[in-house]
Amino acid sequence: MLVLLLLVSLTYHFFYWIPFSLIPVDGLPWIVPIISMICSVLIGWYVWSRSRSIPDDLPESFFLGAFIIGGFGFAAGFFGPMIFSPGANQGPLLGIFITGPLGFLLGGIGGIIYWLVKKRKNEKIVPV
């Protein structure tokens, strides 16, 4: 549950700041929090619905691992420099450009490895 709350919060802030810092929305400032909330609720719903059971196929396992580990990587890289080095003006960029995407990739690879190990265990235990 704590992972889900952290993931939804981080997703909201990510979608609030990253895409809309590049896309101007001068006439419609209310659209930014709405789109950010929709994205964070959809990713939170996905992780909540998939974390109750072990994923059965490869894409589900990949995205579940990628969202969870990527969220933690983004949080560590984004908020860590703000806490430990508040004077650094480019500290949060670590989470945006390095630890977030790297965590997403490593989490996806970990999800694939998990799925392959689970598949191999299920192949060995075949009822006669």
> Domain residue spans in the chain?
2-124
Please state, in angstroms and rounded to a whole number, the distance separating the CA atoms of residues 82 and 59. Answer: 34
pLDDT in the model for residue 54: 65
pLDDT tier for residue 123 given thresholds of 50, 70 and 90: confident
Section 92-114 average pLDDT: 93
Residue 95 is classified by DSSP as: I
50-54, 115-119, 121-125: segment of lowest average pLDDT: 50-54
The first and second tokens of residue 121, run together, are: 């265990």
Please state, in angstroms and rounded to a whole number, the distance separating the CA atoms of residues 43 and 64. Answer: 10
Supply the pTM of this predicted model. Answer: 0.63
